[in-house]
Chains A and B, each alone.
Chain A
Amino acid sequence: MSAIVGPSGSGKTTLLGLCAGLDQPTSGDVILQGITLSELSEDERARVRNEHVGFVFQTFQLIPTLTAIENVMVPLELRGESTKHVRQRAKDLLIEVGLGDRTHHYPTQLSGGEQQRVAIARAFINQPKILFADEPTGNLDTETGEHIEDLIFDLNKSQQTTLVLVTHDPELAQKCDRIIRIKNGKIDSDTFLEKAEVAG
């Protein structure tokens, strides 16, 4: 689990976007799972994201016209997997994040914390190799934020995913194995923390 930290405007989100293949570097390469992203077209990068990547955003980024379960189903439906199988898997994940009784609610009918849970379920449905989280608790109160953090870490552990987390919260960063500090668009420090296990 890696945390990217830095003050506002330091380039954390930009770095995240580059790593996830959402953006193109002006020079150099980004290699994700052995694939050089800059050699791919936008659609090819989309396919790579669908195969290998999960996202959790600060603003949840749920599709407002889809129910909770439909939001979670999107990544696997894009692959063309059978609806019955995808629906069951999405339901299981929603139960795992504690929203088993809210599967047919729309985002506007859910609280902030509930929306983020749906987003987490969506991020994990395609069993990604890497999960990118951009300030996942930034829009939540402290208590809810802590629950969300625990959820992300638990799922990350159980699914054996690499987590890359952007945050300006030093406490959250301390829960990760590696902290990369960014300042003015440059890496200021890159520290591996020695821990027996990550608190969750």
Chain B
Amino acid sequence: MSWSWIFKMAWRDSRSNRRKLFLYMAAIIVGVAAQVAITSFRVNLNQSINNQAKELLGADLEVGRNAPFEAELQAYLDSLSPDQAEMLDFNSMAYFPKNGATRLSQIMALQPAFPYYGIIETNPAEAANEYAINNGALIDEAMLLQLELEVGDSIKVGFNTYEIIGGIIDIPGQSMANSFFGPRVILPFQGIEESGLLERGSRLRYTTFVKYQPGTEPEIVVDELDAMRDSLDFGFDDVAERRDEVGEAIVYLSNFLNLIGFIALLLGGIGVASSIFVYVRQKIATVAVLRCMGASSNQALAIYLIQATAMGFVGSLIGALSGTLIQLYLPVLVQDFIPVDITLFISWTSILIGLVTGVFISILFALMPLLAVRKISPLFTLRSAQINLMRLLNRVTRFTLFFIVTAGVTSYAWIMLLDLQAAIYFTGGLILCLFILAGFAILIMKGARKFIPSGWNYEWRQGLANLYRPNNQTSTLLLTFGLGVTLISSLYLTQDLLLGTIDFEGEEDLPNLAMFDIQYDQNAGVNQIIEDNGLEIIQNVPIVTMRLQSLQGRLVQEILDDTNRVAERWALNREYRSTYRDTLTLTETLFEGEFIGSFDGYDELVPVSVSYDLMEDLAAEVGDTLVWDVQGIPITSYISSTRMVNWQTPQPNFFVVFPTGVLEPAPQFFATTVNTPNREASINLQREIVIAYPNISAIDVGQIVGTIREFLDRVTFVIQFIGLFSIITGLIVLAGSAATSRFQRIRESVLLRTLGARRRQVVKIQIIEYAFLGILAAFIGLFLSVGTSALIGYFYFNIEFIPNFAILATEVILLITLVLFIGLLNTRGIHSKPPLEILRQEGS
């Protein structure tokens, strides 16, 4: 085989086709750009994490517990190092006297030795060193701006009032996303007890940061802490573990984004396949002549394989360079969620991976039409019949190629997801989508062929006929566009699905303001304030804290030590917040047993109602006995009933409900829910309560919903940005497909004009064809996306899916407009010139 001639022939044969080949390349460029951008970004991110590992924690070790440390644990930490900084964190209302605003905030009472690595970045910079000395407060910079506060204004937390010393920009180990659900407030550790917020019932987290002494071996510390963890009930992280956790999260995120970007590459592959098909079809005569002259089938194949590979390489190179530039933008999208500063550099490995992937995909998807080249007979020089390239390949070859392509795609997905089963599901899902899209295209073409009403006028019939005529774009458009639309639309619909579960505003029966941590002696006063504001209390529930002591006669510790234990650790170790009442609420449904609403005293077996999910996690049954440690008093109970609880409502729900008549004497606090008619009423109520009772916290449902919506918007925007690559690829492939049929369309329209058709009629035919294509692509893409979202809702989130018709309608209009635009762009300039002039131009 003369390779020199083959390469020469490949080069010569590509002349006059290079513009077309560029269009084929463009389909690969976008997909490779997405891949390289994401892969480069991951490399940069991992490097940044490695370089700033210690700043992820701000210390060498972080130990935390929901209660004060046991003496044994504290003694161990003291023996480890004298360099320790303590922190108490909890949620509480913060009140700003300057403007009367209140906010549920994350309060961190912190000793100034923290952080040992990195700095707390503040504005002004010196505030991080001064807050403890001056007994001041640091508050999230964004909150200062939002509430129009300045350094020197004050903040009241509980009974303590602090001067605002500065705005928090960055805290080691935390991302901006930490402040989404409540602004961060740093207060001096000293004096926090005087706030009155550390009372019984408050949810406090005790944390100690440790800086190792020189010579400390982290692995030994980890082993020793691990041995104590269960018995002393605490959690800990060291730098290596935090780095691994963050790194793992980055891996999952980037793998997921890579998969989304991979879909763009696959679409590009489909574009390549359809383009190469068209290209090879145009080369049948050339190949037949070469075979006549004595070229072997492998020589003929090699010529076009070289062209396809070169096209793939050049396209991948351009894509890789573009991706390297795009990665500069990615940190802007995700910086708020990442706890390190991202340093960017060129990742040559990522560029190489992008190149290899792009070339691989180009060749993989070009294989089928290329192998058909081998079967082109020299007899075609004598016969000019219309050849179906696919039919040149026998069934075994086609199936083998299909298998090779599927295996290639699955392998790549496996590398991305690190999970073979998930990779198989991914490929299976893609293939199913493509089959549905291809099947739909065939159905449309057959339907259009059979069912065009003869009563329609010529333009409509011709426009519809263009859907199935030779060289139509129906399949290409539906496959590429349909898949891209399915992906993007699924993201929007799933996001809407999630938001729908928390959108309670406007539902008058549900509360939109919940107050908690109301002490026993404050309850009447709070209720009075609510009534004085003309508002109705929806729920005023008592809460008693308790721990599980034993289950079915076995002590909790015994069960925890049992290596064959089935019950979940969290259910055994938890501090329960239970309530007592004589009825079920609207969010509960009795599942099994009998709900007993009242009972006399606690000396006998008390019937309790347990939520279904807790019962599963305790591996318990109706009738089982549970002994509770209610703040020192043991109470023996049995499970009289289980309830299904709808946890997704903005009101207190409980794992365990006692009957009335048992817990009334126990130390308790209250939670109260209210429905306020408007935002102003909600703010006024919160302000009055916080001034009178600074320890009480309030959850403003409207604000939380808005925050969650914003958070989800930011998260899904990242995914949608990557998904946009798929849409762009779809557009490129469509444009390419339209361009390849331009000459044929021009000939047709010229012929029609020669026969007497007016320009308006010819344009109308094209509008009808592309409008139909746009509607069909939109319809099938949205149908698939609705199906995908419904399945995700059912199997993954366990939520009923109701499609948002506003989103669907917007997408339909946008898609049709896009397809129409591309289609009409393709026929620009042909209506205004004489027919013969156009034919001459295009023919040359």
Contacts and interface: CB of A to CB of B under 8 A. Distances in A.
Interface stretch (A2-10, A70-78, A142-150): A70-78
B2 interface: yes
Contacts of B292: 20, 22, 49, 55, 61
Contacts of A47: 294, 296
A70 B2 contact: no
Contacts of A66: 12-13
Interface in B280-297: 285-286, 288-297
A17 B379 contact: yes
A22 B2 contact: no
B378 to A, nearest CB: 5
Interface residues of A, number: 33
Contact of B382 (A57, A62, A65, A108): A57
A16 B382 contact: yes
B286 A134 contact: no
A108 to B, nearest CB: 6
A75 B293 CA distance: 5
Interface in A41-61: 42-43, 46-47, 49-51, 55, 57, 59, 61
A13 B296 CA distance: 23
Contacts of B381: 22, 55, 57, 61
A85 interface: no
B377 interface: yes
A70 B289 CA distance: 14
B5 A46 contact: no
Interface string A69-97: 01000110111100000000000000000
Interface string B497-522: 00000000000000000000000000
B13 A43 contact: no
Contacts of B2: 77-80
Contacts of B293: 49-50, 55, 74-75, 78, 122
Contacts of B9: 77
A23 interface: yes
A109 to B, nearest CB: 9
Interface stretch (B14-22, B729-737, B772-780): B14-22
A167 B297 CA distance: 30
A63 B290 contact: yes
A75 B297 contact: no
A64 interface: yes
Interface string B563-583: 000000000000000000000
A108 B842 CA distance: 12
B442 to A, nearest CB: 33
A108 B290 contact: no
B379 A65 contact: no
Given A63-B13, A78-B2, A22 B286 contact: no
Given A47-B296, A80-B2, A108-B844, A61 B290 contact: no
A13 B383 CA distance: 9
B274 interface: no
A46 B296 contact: yes
Contacts of B384: 59
Contacts of A70: 12
A86 B381 CA distance: 24
Contacts of A78: 2, 5, 290, 293-295, 299
Nearest to B384: A59
Contact of A65 (B286, B288, B291, B844): B286
Nearest to B291: A46
Contacts of A43: 296-298
Interface in A15-41: 16-17, 20, 22-23
A69 B350 CA distance: 45
B236 to A, nearest CB: 70
A70 B377 CA distance: 22
A140 to B, nearest CB: 18
A57 to B, nearest CB: 6
A65 B12 contact: yes
A16 B44 CA distance: 67
A79 B296 CA distance: 11
Contacts of A22: 292, 377-379, 381-382
A1 B2 CA distance: 34
A59 B291 CA distance: 16
Interface string B1-31: 0100100110011111100000000000000
Contacts of A42: 297, 377
Contacts of A13: 382-383
A65 B5 contact: no
Contacts of A62: 289
Contacts of B17: 65
B294 A65 contact: no
Nearest to A14: B382
B10 to A, nearest CB: 11
B379 A23 contact: yes
Interface in A106-126: 106, 108, 122
Contacts of B13: 63, 65-66
A46 B378 contact: yes
Interface in B289-320: 289-299
A46 B12 contact: no
A55 B379 CA distance: 12
Q: B8, B378, B383: which has the most chain A beta carbons within 10 Å? A: B378
A46 B671 CA distance: 90
A70 B297 CA distance: 20
**Interface-centre pick from A20, A50, A78 (highest chain B CB count, 10 A):** A78
A43 B2 CA distance: 14
Nearest to A23: B379
Contacts of A134: 382
Nearest to B16: A65
A49 B297 CA distance: 14
A5 to B, nearest CB: 17
B682 to A, nearest CB: 75
B286 A63 contact: yes
B325 to A, nearest CB: 34
Contacts of B8: 77
Interface in B369-391: 377-379, 381-384
Contacts of A122: 293
Given A22-B379, A134-B382, A61 B285 contact: yes
Given A46-B294, A77-B8, 11 more contacts: A22-B382, A49-B378, A61-B289, A61-B292, A64-B16, A65-B14, A66-B13, A70-B12, A75-B294, A78-B293, A108-B843
| A-B pairs with lowest CB-CB distance, top 8 | A50-B294, A43-B296, A80-B2, A22-B379, A77-B5, A22-B378, A75-B293, A78-B294
8 contacts: A22-B378, A43-B297, A43-B298, A46-B297, A49-B294, A55-B292, A61-B288, A63-B289
Interface of B: 2, 5, 8-9, 12-17, 285-286, 288-299, 377-379, 381-384, 843-844
